Amino acid sequence: MLVSVDHGNKQVKTTHALCAPFTSGLRESATPPFGGDVLQYGGKYYTLVDERIPYRRDKTEDERFFVLTLFAVAREIEARGAYSMGTIPVQLAVGLPPAHYGAQYQKFEQYFMGRGEVCFSLNQKAFSIEITYALCFPQAYAAAVTMFQSLGSAPKVLVVDIGGFTADYLFIKQGKAQLGTCDSLENGVIVLYNRIRSKVNGDFDMLLEEGDIDAILRGQGSYAPEVRQLVEQETAAFVSDLFNALRERMIDLRSGQVVFIGGGSILLRRFIEQSGKVRQALFVDDIKANAKGYEILYQVAARR
């Protein structure tokens, strides 16, 4: 079975409607922990936590992103009703930011392959899989693939994918992706979180979690007015900085259509629209767009 996994720095996403995104965070223990989904692999126990793994440019440095993949694969198997007592062959479609893709895609593919039969359990239910093949694709380009049919007639479209640590972009001209202008900026929402948390701590001696910032930006929760104001101001400045960084690369957001995708774009939509720097913005609310694009690209590659 083909499983497409978007290993975001903030969340892990797959394609099945019943598989909700989960935070890219793990807690490891030598004994069975209490509560939550518990995955046992390699003599250790793992649970998902809301505190994400600190950003790393190279996700193959340790086993944590492989364990997150096991969570994702097990959930996809269950959601599709494909569970088997025998070994299940799995093909993986994954991705990396465009700026890192050329240097890292082979290493990321090899990270998953060559392991033979992988045995683990999720909530005491035994799984056995073998990852027979893995292909890696560029983020943003993958998400754009899901929209080619609707955007094919546009003379020029800029796709901006605001994720956890990177903001990826590429142009589509007459339905064709311009991979020569596909790149990444380290302007994802994690950068915004760190900026706000530092500022709030310094100004108000208050510790905010990333979930608090999300709630404030969505108009939820009970927070002091001055804290809300600071978060709003820092977020508006962050969006402005991102657009200025694109401008430095000779990218004009007022020329042609701009498509915003990714969880960061959804979170920052109000600030993007209020910035006055984007003439024609389209927002894709599907947080799984990259994962779905990886699946499409894998199927195309498999037919060649």
The string of pLDDT tens digits covering residues 242-280 is 999 999 999 989 888 899 999 999 999 999 999 999 988
| pLDDT value for 11 | 94
- Which domains are assigned to the chain? 2-138+292-303 (3.30.420.40), 147-189+217-285 (3.30.420.40)
**C-beta of residue 41 within 8 angstroms of C-beta of residue 28:** no
| pLDDT value for 207 | 93
The answer on pLDDT for 44 being more than 90 is: yes
| pLDDT value for 169 | 93
Q: Residue 46, by phi and psi: left (phi above 0), alpha (psi -120 to 50) or beta?
A: beta
The answer on pLDDT for 153 being more than 90 is: no
Residues 85-93 have a mean pLDDT of 97
Beta bridge partners of 133: 91
DSSP 181-216: EEEEES-SHHHHHHHHHHHHHHHH--PPPHHHHHHH
| pLDDT value for 98 | 87
The answer on pLDDT for 148 being more than 80 is: no
What confidence tier does 152 reach under pLDDT thresholds 50, 70, 90?
A: low
Residues 120-142 have a mean pLDDT of 95
The string of pLDDT tens digits covering residues 171-203 is 888 777 787 778 889 899 999 999 999 999 999
Q: Is the dihedral of CA 294, 172, 273, 187 positive or negative?
A: positive
